[in-house]
Amino acid sequence: MSARPTAFARRTRRIAALRAGAAAVCCGLLLGSAGVSVAAVQAPATAHERDAPSYGRGSLVSAEKLYTLASPAAVSTELRRAGFETSTVRHGVTAYRLVYRTVDAQGRPTTASGLLALPRSGERRLGTVSFAHGTGSHKDDSPSMSRAEFVSAPVIAHASAGAAAVGPDYVGMGKGPGPHPWMDIPSETTASLDMLRAARAFAPHTGRTLQRPVQVTGFSQGASAALALGRALQDGADPYFRLAALAPISGAYDFGGTELPALLEGRVEAKSGAVYAAYTLVAFNRLHPVYDDPAEVFRAPYDRTVEALFDGAHTGEQLMRGTPGTVDELLTAHGRDLLAHPTGGLAEALRGTDGVCRDWAPRTPTRLYMASGDEQAVTENTDRCQEWLREAGADVPVVDLGAVDYAGSRHLGSNTAGTTAVVRWFEHLRRS
């Protein structure tokens, strides 16, 4: 977790400092970023927008051209700066930020933003890929607010292989108002689905159209979001889009039954575990009655400060400085017991979070990607997801990416290696 660097080497140095206590890698991405300059692109209403679902969900509020990577070489430079491979790059890319109408975790009308990346190719009708990103603490830790960064690179990589690639920022991230309801599956699903609708509405303004089949992927937090979006598309949540393939990477699919016990047992990297524990209690308490007073679950002095760290305005470095190095330093005995034996509002929240692999079977090509020795999303999560999908009738293979590494993290490495693998697989499926 570090402030957004301008080059991969600078990020690596900050991560080294992080592991020494100055900053840290956590929760599926490098936290902390800065804004980008944009040029506005007008996006008048289309027939699709007029036919949008309730609350005008998916209709465009604005569209901004962020940057153009005019050639494959320019894209390769962009991806290398973020620490990603370039072997799948075939086209230049143009990137846009879309702001669109959606609903929040309570079902109330709101707006959200996301990144749309289009290949600079001769194709007018484009296959569509949706990528859901990993965890961030600051609103700028999102695809449309970053460039040449860990959180935006997968979207660019998919577009450079010929797809229209969308990366929702999620509710409360990017340009969206209010706090981010972290790991809230329903709002991740609506934000992702409505981002697809907004992309479909905007694409004709660039001379392109999006095809109906959607290939869905995501990393860490976004792996669960990807499964939920895939299920919604398969169930007919949108009259136009349909699920074509599903490839989540390194998710905490059994968050309550596997990830939280691993966190408490010390099988999750210690600093990451402390931040996960804090984020879980603070974010879930905003939607469910988990605690009445922070002092019930957080030790002093964190009981007075930790909630504010997750307001969307604090950077990753501030979050790292404001949290202890271990779960035991953070939690009271009651807080630890609550994570070990969830009840009440926390148990209710976890039923939603842990349901992404349960009681459904994808009817399209599906793979689960993971990295052996993952120090954040322990691999038993993937085992459990595969087991549940098999029980529902889907024999889904697990792809072990091996001992991949990104700045000393196998979890983060699974995103870089997994992105390349998924881009290749999705491109193969589009051609077949």
Q: What percent of the chain has pLDDT over 70?
A: 87
pLDDT number for residue 10: 36
**Whether 113 contacts 174, CB under 8 Å:** yes
Find the CATH number of the domain harbouring 398.
3.40.50.1820
Closest CA to 404 of 217, 223, 250: 250
| Tokens found for residue 374 | 């993952």
Provide the pLDDT confidence category of residue 55 given band limits of 50, 70 and 90.
Answer: low
Q: Please check the confidence at residue 9 and state whether its pLDDT lies above 90.
A: no
Closest CA to 416 of 175, 137, 113, 87: 87
Domain coverage including residue 84: 1-432
What dihedral angle (degrees, nearest 10) is formed by the CA atoms of 413, 415, 421, 424? -140
pLDDT higher than threshold 90 for residue 332 = yes
User: Is residue 3 within 8 Å of residue 316, measured between CB atoms?
Assistant: yes
Structure confidence at residue 50 (pLDDT): 40
- Calculate the average pLDDT of the chain: 90
Q: Cβ(244)–Cβ(428) under 8 Å? A: no
Collapsed DSSP state (helix, strand, coil) of residue 278: helix
Cite the DSSP H helix spans in 208-297. 221-234, 260-264, 270-287
Question: How many alpha carbons lie under 13 Å from residue 74 in its C-beta half-sphere?
Answer: 13
CA distances (Å), origin 167, targets 115, 286, 304: 5, 25, 34
**What is the DSSP secondary structure assignment for residue 312, as one 8-state letter?**
S
Residue with tokens 């595969």: 386
Number of domains making up the chain: 1
- The pLDDT assigned to 54 comes to 53
Q: What is the mean pLDDT of residues 100-124?
A: 97
Burial class (CB in 10 A: 0-12, 13-18, 19+), 237: middle
Where residue 95 falls among pLDDT bands split at 50, 70, 90? very high
Asked whether residue 130 carries a pLDDT value surpassing 90, the answer given is: yes
> Cα(277)–Cα(284) distance, rounded to whole angstroms?
11
* 230-246 average pLDDT score: 98
Q: Tens digit of pLDDT for each residue in 260-298?
A: 999 999 999 999 999 999 999 999 999 999 999 999 999
Residue 33: pLDDT over 90: no
- pLDDT tens readout for residues 158-205: 999 999 999 999 999 999 999 999 999 999 999 999 999 999 999 999
Q: How far is CA 14 from CA 2, 156, 320, 377, 407, in A?
A: 6, 24, 12, 22, 10
For residue 98, what are the β-bridge partners? Answer: 63, 114
**Residue 28 pLDDT grade (very low, low, confident, very high; cuts 50, 70, 90):** low
